[in-house]
Every structure is written in structure tokens, then in C-alpha cells.
Amino acid sequence: MKLARTRAELQAALAGAARPLGLVPTMGWLHDGHRSLIERSRRENRATVVSIFVNPRQFGSSEDLARYPRDEARDLAICAAEGVDIVFAPPVEEVYPAGFDTTVSVGAIARPLEGAARPGHFDGVATVVAVLFGLVRAERAYFGQKDAQQVMVIRRMALDLAMATEVLSCPTVREPDGLALSSRNVRLSPEQRAAATVLHRALVAARTLHERGEASGDALRGEMRRVLATEPLARTEYVSCADARTLLELERVEGPALLSLAVLFGTVRLIDNEPLG
Ligand code: PAF
């Protein structure tokens, strides 16, 4: 496995890499969700690049950039064990060199939900992913469905800007009790960790209600709020029952939809989602 710290080292490593190439962009603190992305990339490509970069541009001023968990030695060991060919783990100035002055801003799909709750977040995500796509020029890139809106934003960007990298999304990986794997889970106290199963419980309750025939968006959002309210440590930021293509809130579910929510446990913010139909 080659480790590249600079753009030049990355280009040198890529020169000898087999094609097709898969890219797994990450912010490190790798878990089984990332492992599933790496495994899929390895199945579908002849070489896999993992990027490890905690992107400051996608964190708001009051957000948890400084507290974002980091353990590069552990991440590199996981990549080696998973058979990754190249790890790109650059410092900030290699991704955003002096003079860097471009922001990629995706339109309507980036506005609701996470876009509304975290202003500027998707500009940061789209910009860093555009840089990574440009540097790696992979045939395919793999993202987790837990960040469903992120996948839609990146797809929109790749399509609109005629990027050659195909954007693929992979199923959310969960703990046995339903909690979606996230690098942020490590920051939960034991009590918060136990309480955090409420995200998945709320989604399952709303999905079950829908399966029993309930199509009202308000009723499904209400069901998620009802379940979340049973957990005193959970502070609900939003619940959503939206059109799966536009992410606009639905009055009635009559086609593919996405249930999603964002919940705070102290300062730890967790998101999750569940498709309907
Ligand atoms: O999902 C993430 O870990 C990040 O948003 C990404 C896609 C690596 C961009 O920094």
C-alpha cells in the first residue's frame, strides 16, 4: 500500500495503478461502514484509493471540527488490512494550496435538510469532492447511503460538471441494535450511546406506519417526533418525510420518499434515514 501526502506523491502512485480505479473519500476514523465501501470498490475495480482528510470547509464555525475523532495510524492499518492500494492523506495546504479560490455550490438539492441545518456544509463537501475527483480521476467513487443527501448533491455536481467519475452509494451499515455506524458515535457517552438507538426506532416506527397504509407526511413526521420524544437525552433538530428525488417535504407519500432525521445528544449530532417505496 502506498501512502501519498502530497498531490505530487499521489500522481506518482497513480501512474503505476491498475485501472479501473475506485475512490473511497473519507474523513478517517474508519469503521465497518467504510470497510463495506472499500470492499465494494475492490470487487468492482482493479485498484482502490482511500482518501483520509478532515475537510475544514464542511464544518460550520460552531461545529465540531476540533473534536472530530482522528487516529491515522489505526486508519492506515485498516486500509492495509482491507487491501487498499493507495491512501491519500494530505495536509490542508495540499488540498487547498495558497491562492485556492473556488467554491463548488450545488443548487436546489443542497438546500433543504442538512443544507438548511448546516449552512455552507454542502459547498464544503462539493468543493473537496471536486478536488479529489480531479486529482484521482477514478472511474468510480463510493459513498454511504447514511448521508443520503450528500450522495444526491455529489451526483448532481458530477453530472452537471461532466465529471468522469461515477458516483455510487452503498447501504448504511448498522450496529446490531440499529444505530447507523458513524465516526461521531465514538463521542457519545455510554448513556447517550444507549439512547441513540432512538433514531433508528423512530425511522422504523414511521416506516411501519406507512406500510400499514398511512400516507400523510404530517402523520409520518409526527410518528418520528413521538418516538424521539420518548428519549430524554435526544434533542430533535429535524424530522423529514420528503420526495426521494427532490427532498422537498411531502403532504402525501405517493411515490419514492425518504424519511430522515437529525438529532443531538449533547454536542454530538447524528443523522439517519430510511427510504420508503
Ligand atoms: O462523508 C464524508 O466522510 C465526507 O463528507 C466526505 C465525502 C469524505 C467529504 O469530505
- Give the model confidence (pLDDT) of 65-98 as tens digits: 988 999 999 999 999 999 999 999 999 999 999 9
pLDDT at 168: 98
Q: CA 133 to CA 126: how far, in whole Å?
A: 10
pLDDT at 64: 78
| pLDDT mean across residues, the chain | 97
Task: Say yes or no to pLDDT of 260 above 90.
Answer: yes
Task: Say yes or no to pLDDT of 63 above 90.
Answer: no
Q: Is the peptide bond before 90 cis (omega within 30 degrees of 0)?
A: no
Measured from the CA of 53, which atom of ligand 1 is nearest? 10
- Mean pLDDT calculated for residue range 32-58: 98
Burial letters 232-259, b for 16+ CB under 10 A, else e: ebbebbbbbbbbbeebeebeebeeebbb
pTM > 0.85: yes
pLDDT at 269: 96
CATH superfamily of 183-271: Pantoate-beta-alanine ligase, C-terminal domain (3.30.1300.10)
Cα 198 to ligand 1 centroid, rounded to whole Å? 24
- Mean pLDDT calculated for residue range 208-218: 98
Closest C-alpha to ligand 1, atom 9: 125
- Give the model confidence (pLDDT) of 86-131 as tens digits: 999 999 999 999 999 999 999 999 999 999 999 999 999 999 999 9
Q: CA 108 to CA 131: how far, in whole Å?
A: 22
Q: What percent of the chain has pLDDT above 70?
A: 100
Structural domain spans, the chain: 2-170, 183-271
Residue 250 backbone dihedrals phi, psi, to 5 degrees: -105, 140
Window from 9-23, 55-69, 111-125, 231-245 with minimum mean pLDDT: 55-69
Q: Is the shortest distance between the CB of 123 and ligand 1 below 6 Å?
A: no
Q: Which strands make up the sheet holding 235-243, listed edge to edge?
A: 235-243, 257-265, 268-276
The CATH fold of domain 2-170: Rossmann fold (3.40.50)
Give kind and range of the element (H or E) at residue 269: strand 268-276
Measured from the CA of 26, which atom of ligand 1 is nearest? 8
DSSP for 127-142, please give it: HHHHHHHHHH--SEEE
Q: Is the shortest distance between the CB of 147 and ligand 1 below 6 Å?
A: yes
